[in-house]
Structure 1
């Protein structure tokens, strides 16, 4: 029997690995709470349920929650945190720097970064943990400059990247024709661009076209059928089509670059200019500007002020100072006048919304921690 067992282990080593991989979990140390069943060790895939004492809450949503032993590690480490703390929020199409503790203290601020192709609704980019709940959590909505999936082209595929439904403004994708098919000029590949929410014109893959010939099949430089080859010419002006049938053209077709007050050009390509606004300003309108074949520029964005000006001299409860600027949707700490010699961290939080600043009451960190503010 001993030899038989050895032979089975040799023949089926996966069974031994599976047994050794399924490690048990030690009972968690749960300060301020309790769990069932109460035991020292939990086998692989065993669940425990826990709840927290008055004034505390689980580190995940719910007043009672479960955690599963998964090969020696709990699916989430059971914890009981202060009831005024906040658990990590879910932001569709956005991300933020997660706390190493797995939760956030009352008064903590997180800044959301939207995924490519999305932008902050109402310019709101921050969330504040307030008494156990997130206030004014940002929403990431589809950007006006973003494009849906590129158009399907017969006899061609998109190369270099996987399928996705949404593309950020200024994105580029490249088509390649299947074997035996080419684009005008004998090429097999062509790139198109996402310009102000629309894709530039895609390729047409035709069968059996001879490199260097035109639509009529004549050689480069020929005149058969009244057509001539485009070989040797400058960049084609029919690189894309805007709404209303207006053709996109290379930017050198238009005159000097448009000037956007409080904005700068951050990228110049053959087909578009990209604008961004200076600090404390928010772009309104398209992020890219295209040149049309008629020599006119497409719509130009503007830069709207998104900040509050705080003249501290006008707020008698604040410590003397100059003028400060707070971005829209953000909160800044302002030192308050000392009420007594032993209070050294008396401050008020100023929040900027649509150009208006609002302050909460002056408190110390200790008072805020215990919910006295």
Structure 2
């Protein structure tokens, strides 16, 4: 009896459930201002393609003058939308990221700052782009950094732990090797890290097994040479057997092993190596610039618009607590304060890029002066203003010249 009622219930419930599931997969017709779409329906089933176009002065919020959106599980693959022609859609920049607009597009005049992925840097130090009349000006390019490293070297009887495979590593990156079972670096330890410094990896481990520390391939994991030893000028042996020590000395100073830089002119002078940037405290600031990338071993800067980057590409911290040389931002523009020129229309300070020019409005002497302007040019940081003139003045001058030539 119970099974009879259960079967009746399933017959009634299943069609309703299937109908509800089918309705959930449908998409409602989009609300498309300044545009039109086909086919026109109230609802669209799953996988239905909707094609749309926009009226004059508008364009789709994706590439092209017409667009297509697909109903996927109750939502459109992208929301059909028409934006102003002077607006910009998100740019595609390889190996980079930037702040995405909440609306999915950018208004004219909007400036975005590009951040390159790890291991890449801005080509020609261009880090920003501006939306001008529907297109992006001077889109930045992220190219491989000269200080980045390729994949770490293969070490017999060892694997890299803690991260997935990648073929490019940023400067300052650390990877850790771990020896396989039965192998060690020095008879005790099985793990060792190597670092990417100036495009090269510091020395990695040598995993030896069975006969003692580091004997599988000869030598130790750090410093020395295979099976040898190091000695000072006085004949003292700081290490012997399989591997030696981490430094070699010959009476004129020491040499650090494992990358980095050092300076020494005598045996008692302190070695200067690169250290994590936290060791140097407050990050140095530069006028008209800002820090755009912070890593464990270095800082990167970029200059504001109208300024050119001059100096080292990265700033590092030395082991003595001092910073390396910092870059500077050189002005590549001229400024004109229109309030200081009687002949110019007072409109605040105007900026002109070096090597470029622009027209500034002049004060009109009477109602007959039309398009009255001064041509302003910036050359090597120096400004030059032409006398105020208008197209009417130019036309009159041309007519006078022509008339005199005819006469």
Normalised by the length of structure 2, the TM-score is 0.60
Q: 2:35 aligns with which of 33, 36, 42?
A: 33
Aligned partners of 2:184 and 2:214 also within 8 Å: no
Q: Report the alpha carbon displacement of residue 240 of structure 1 after superposing the two structures with TM.
A: 2.6
Bigger Rg, structure 1 or 2: 2
Aligned partners of 1:47 and 1:68 also within 8 Å: yes
Q: Report the alpha carbon displacement of residue 108 of structure 1 after superposing the two structures with TM.
A: 1.2
Distance 1:142 1:175, change over 3 A: same
Q: 1:303 aligns with which of 324, 327, 333?
A: 327
Q: 1:149 aligns with which of 136, 148, 151?
A: 151
Q: Report the alpha carbon displacement of residue 44 of structure 1 after superposing the two structures with TM.
A: 1.6
Which residues of 2 match residues 90-239 of structure 1 at below 5 A?
Answer: 90-210=92-212, 226-227=240-241, 239=257
Report the counterpart of residue 87 of structure 1 in structure 2: 89
Q: Distance in 2 between matches of 1:18 and 1:152?
A: 57
Q: Distance in 2 between matches of 1:273 and 1:140?
A: 20
Which residues of 2 match residues 310-321 of structure 1 at below 5 A?
Answer: 310-313=334-337, 316=341, 319=347
Aligned partners of 2:279 and 2:317 also within 8 Å: no
Q: 2:258 aligns with which of 224, 240, 252?
A: 240
Larger strand percent: 1
Q: Report the alpha carbon displacement of residue 266 of structure 1 after superposing the two structures with TM.
A: 3.9
Q: Distance in 2 between matches of 1:8 and 1:208?
A: 73
Larger RCO: Structure 1 or Structure 2 (Cα < 8 Å, ≥ 6 residues apart)? 1
Query: Matched residue of 1:138: which SS?
Result: coil
Q: Report the alpha carbon displacement of residue 227 of structure 1 after superposing the two structures with TM.
A: 2.6
Q: Report the alpha carbon displacement of residue 181 of structure 1 after superposing the two structures with TM.
A: 0.8
> Which 5+ residue runs of structure 2 have no aligned equivalent?
221-225, 228-236, 249-253, 281-295, 355-359, 365-377, 385-407
> Which 5+ residue runs of structure 1 have no aligned equivalent?
218-222, 243-247, 259-264, 292-299, 329-334, 340-351, 359-373
Distance 1:232 1:101, change over 3 A: closer
Matched, 1:284 2:312: yes
Q: Distance in 2 between matches of 1:186 and 1:32?
A: 73
Aligned partners of 1:170 and 1:288 also within 8 Å: no
Q: Report the alpha carbon displacement of residue 144 of structure 1 after superposing the two structures with TM.
A: 1.1
Q: Distance in 1 between matches of 2:5 and 2:49?
A: 36
Q: Report the alpha carbon displacement of residue 282 of structure 1 after superposing the two structures with TM.
A: 4.5
Q: Distance in 2 between matches of 1:154 and 1:228?
A: 18
Q: Distance in 1 between matches of 2:190 and 2:177?
A: 8
Query: Matched residue of 1:284: which SS?
Result: coil
Count of aligned pairs:
307
Aligned-residue RMSD, C-alpha:
4.8
Q: Distance in 2 between matches of 1:354 and 1:188?
A: 60
